[in-house]
């Protein structure tokens, strides 16, 4: 009994000392993470979970620091896994997309004056951490301006690993906790690359504290050749382009090259500008946004660069986020923009997208390596109404892995209706989400929550309509 009493007294004294400026025990500042606690956001409804946000410096010499936002689970957070969400672009914000319109607990109203609850938030099942990566995305910054023009896949993966190592030092209660990485689009590069970094890092430790158990990527950029081939195939099979244009693209475009020819570009441009019509390419069966996106969708002269520009962009809902996160009171509540960044917060960084450097032509070798060596739980999913990184592209890439089928193709269910279709392979599970666009949790939130639940549990998606 007295032991428990003394423990309680010690905790009270520690918290009092922290509030007075912190206490150091054994060289480690106790409760350092409490400095990042978010008491509440402007216009936020009351919630039962804790939030933390702030910066982790990943490169002292260049002054690179990454911004994160942790939203703990709604119930029994101490026993729930940790899930890192990454959006792609490259150069798009996980706060803008993942947190604010996909899997986070809050949604922003149209006037950017208040928040409301997302009933299908993934923090019902896990503690969620959203990372704005690389430096230059959202609130993440660098004091070396050249970093904005020489960033690529390798630095992004390395900085993300450094972020995690330092973040776990700040949040020791999450060390050894089951951890997963999820995300979408160009995070099809980020996530497997980071998973490989973590796997290699852990091999050097006798007791790894980053307890990575698996990852899941949606509408994932995977292999330039098969992604491009599968995208054109999707356009044709969904009647978005004519037979003539389809065959002209196949004859004149060599997708095995890093850059396409001017002739190829002209046919791609004709398809996108003349034959698509006024549609939302991220969700071809829903109404497009009324305003001009200004994202270069129709003006890109290179097919590959055009797809990089498209990925991760939603022209309507992001505008609410840009209004909200540029508010000074919101930034203060999130401990964001503490250095006075010289530019406004945006959902995607044009300068990063335009100047992206190293980009792996194919991520398939990483999948092969991790499937064979790591034992990680790996899932890929596709919203089947996305024409930007479509389901056909992912299926073409998966076929090249030559994986053994464990559970053959079948429909999966949620709320007594078909949620999509799935197939389980040796080392990887693939699922489609029926009627969902590029941002699956935005278009099919309830189905996405079921997908996430099955992924975390390691169970197959429900095969009967009673679920």
Kindly list the catalytic residues. 185, 386, 438
Closest CA to 80 of 71, 68, 92, 90: 71
Sign, Cα dihedral of 360, 361, 365, 367: positive
Identify the three-state secondary structure at position 273: helix
Decide: helix, strand or coil at residue 130.
Answer: strand
Cβ neighbours of residue 12 closer than 8 Å, sequence gap 6 or more: none
The radius of gyration of the chain from alpha carbons, rounded to an integer in Å, stands at: 22
Measure the CA–CA gap between 450 and 413, rounded to whole angstroms: 9
Task: For residue 148, list its beta bridge partners.
Answer: none
Distance, CA of 404 to CA of 407 (rounded, Å): 9
CA atoms in the 13 A half-sphere facing the CB of 362: 17
Instruction: Say which DSSP state 290 is in.
Output: S
Sequence-separated contacts (24+) of 290-293 with Cβ below 8 Å: 290/316, 291/315, 291/316, 291/319
The first and second tokens of residue 218, run together, are 């949606």
Q: Which two tokens stand for residue 227?
A: 């992604």
Residues belonging to the chain: 467
For 338, the token pair is 């503490």
DSSP 8-state assignment for residue 21: T
Q: Which of 372, 432, 67, 64 is nearest to 234 (CA)?
A: 432
**Residue 424 · residue 461 · CB < 8 Å:** no
Q: Cα(162)–Cα(197) distance, rounded to whole angstroms?
A: 10
Residue 20, token pair as written in the block: 């007075």
State the Cα–Cα distance between residues 454 and 180, nearest whole angstrom.
Answer: 13
Backbone angles phi, psi at 146, to 5 degrees: -65, -20
For 401, other C-beta atoms within 10 Å of its C-beta total 15
Instruction: Strands of 127-166 (E only): list them.
Output: 127-132
Task: Quote the strand ranges of 109-163, DSSP E.
Answer: 115-117, 127-132
Helices (H), 279-385: 303-310, 318-325, 328-333, 350-354, 364-373
């Amino acid at each position: 009994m007295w032991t428990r009493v003394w423990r309680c007294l010690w905790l009270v004294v520690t918290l009092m000392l922290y509030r007075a400026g912190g206490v150091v025990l054994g060289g480690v500042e106790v409760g350092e993470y409490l400095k990042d606690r978010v008491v509440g956001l402007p216009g936020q409804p009351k919630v039962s979970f804790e939030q933390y946000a702030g910066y982790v410096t990943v490169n002292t010499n260049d002054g690179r620091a990454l911004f994160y936002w942790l939203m703990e689970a709604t119930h029994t957070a101490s026993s729930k896994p940790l899930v890192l969400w990454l959006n792609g672009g490259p150069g798009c914000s996980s706060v803008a997309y993942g947190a604010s319109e996909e899997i986070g607990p809050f949604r922003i109203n149209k006037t950017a004056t208040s928040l409301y609850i997302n009933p299908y938030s993934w923090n019902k099942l896990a503690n969620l951490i959203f990372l704005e990566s690389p430096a230059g995305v959202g609130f993440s910054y660098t004091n070396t301006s050249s970093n904005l023009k020489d960033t690529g896949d390798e630095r992004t993966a390395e900085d993300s690993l450094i972020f995690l190592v330092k973040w776990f030092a700040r949040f020791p209660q999450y060390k050894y906790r089951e951890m997963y990485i999820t995300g979408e689009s160009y995070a099809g590069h980020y996530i497997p690359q980071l998973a490989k970094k973590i796997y290699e890092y852990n091999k050097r430790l006798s007791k790894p504290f980053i307890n990575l158990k698996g990852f899941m990527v949606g509408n994932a950029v995977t292999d330039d050749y098969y992604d491009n081939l599968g995208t054109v195939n999707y356009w044709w099979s969904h009647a978005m382009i004519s037979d003539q244009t389809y065959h002209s693209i196949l004859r004149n475009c060599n997708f095995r090259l890093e850059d396409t020819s001017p002739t190829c570009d002209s046919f791609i441009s004709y398809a996108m500008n003349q034959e698509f019509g006024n549609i939302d390419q991220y969700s071809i069966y829903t109404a497009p946004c009324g305003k001009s996106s200004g994202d270069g969708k129709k003006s890109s002269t290179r097919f590959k660069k055009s797809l990089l520009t498209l990925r991760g962009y939603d022209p309507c809902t992001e505008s609410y986020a840009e209004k909200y996160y540029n508010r000074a009171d919101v930034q203060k509540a999130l401990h964001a923009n503490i250095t006075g960044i010289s530019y406004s917060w945006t959902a995607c960084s044009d300068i990063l997208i335009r100047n992206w450097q190293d980009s792996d032509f194919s991520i398939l070798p990483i999948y092969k390596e991790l499937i064979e060596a790591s034992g990680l739980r790996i899932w890929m999913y596709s919203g089947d109404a996305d024409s930007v990184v479509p389901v056909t592209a992912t299926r073409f890439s998966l076929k090249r892995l030559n994986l053994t089928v464990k559970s053959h193709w079948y429909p999966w269910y949620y709320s007594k209706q078909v949620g999509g279709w799935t197939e389980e392979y040796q080392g990887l599970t693939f699922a489609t989400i029926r009627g969902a666009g590029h941002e699956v949790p935005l278009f099919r939130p309830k189905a996405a929550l079921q997908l996430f639940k099955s992924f975390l549990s390691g169970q197959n998606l429900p095969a009967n309509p009673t679920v």
